[in-house]
Amino acid sequence: MSMRSTARPAKSSGTFNLGGDLAVNRLGYGAMQLTGPGVWGDPRDPDEAVRVLRRAVELGINFIDTADAYGPLINEQLIRKALHPYADDLVIATKGGQTRQGPGPSNWTPNGRPEYLRQQAELSLRHLGLERIDLYQLHRIDPTVPLAEQIGELARLQQEGKIRHIGVSEVTVEQLKEARTYAEIASVQNLYNLANRSAEDVLEYAEAENIAFIPWFPIATGELARPGGPLDAAARQHGTSPSQLALAWLLRRSPVMLPIPGTSRVAHLEENTDAALIRLTDEEFEALSSAV
């Protein structure tokens, strides 16, 4: 593998045509960490949060993922503050269908009622300062509402010109197939990383159907990155960080993969984005793949 110096490293990750007509650089940015503790409230350092977003664009990132539940609402408003008016090639993906009752991992409750999804999409348009959202994702399937009604409402918003493409998040292959019977699905966002490949079947289906696969928690490396572990050893050998190698592995894993590593610091953003410059050999990719 080799790394080279470039001003816009994200461009080296290659491109993917989201929904068949939106070309994005495959290494994007997930904005969730630009909120307070527990994904709640304002960021600890609002000025640094703005710097992170602006630096991301400078580094060639043109795919940013957010959600109305991050903050709540604050994340979308921060993106508008930092980047509006948006560059022509910048794709902002947001999500609706999760409610928040407070900070922390236990305070997320799906709400897929059509009227709620419509309300949240309209709010996202306002908070982001957009006339149309390029990618609007159902944040979680609400088990109390028929999926046909949840996707159907997003399809109506799409027909009205308020959504360009529809995505889903944290789904099984069967749920993804069902969603596709109600609307065109451009992306799926599931938990996936080098250490946790439980969504392998969803990735394989997405690749076969040319659906973007957006792995959340992409640089979780767990025991692999422990001192002396396989990821740590490989990173030392090649002068990179374990997280950079984990991202390089994701980019190599599939042409439909769109990793969105998040951070609240510019220095960490730059380190993550440099992962796009890493080229794994076949042997290195296989060695990392078999390390789990």
Is 197:222 a contact under the CB 8 Å cutoff?
no
What angle, 0 to 180 degrees and rounded to 10, lies between the N-to-C axes of helices 266-273 and 242-253? Answer: 40
Q: Where are the beta strands (DSSP E) in 120-162?
A: 133-138
Instruction: Decide: helix, strand or coil at residue 154.
Output: helix
> Is 70 a residue of the active site?
yes
Q: How far apart are CA 199 and CA 167, in angstroms?
A: 16
Q: Which residues contact 227 (CB under 8 A, 6 or more apart)?
A: none
Q: Which of 70, 86, 182, 205 is the catalytic position?
A: 70
Cis amide bond preceding 146, omega within 30: no
Q: Which residues contact 135 (CB under 8 A, 6 or more apart)?
A: 18, 19, 22, 91, 92, 93, 94, 164, 165, 166, 167, 186, 187
Could you list the active site residues?
A: 70
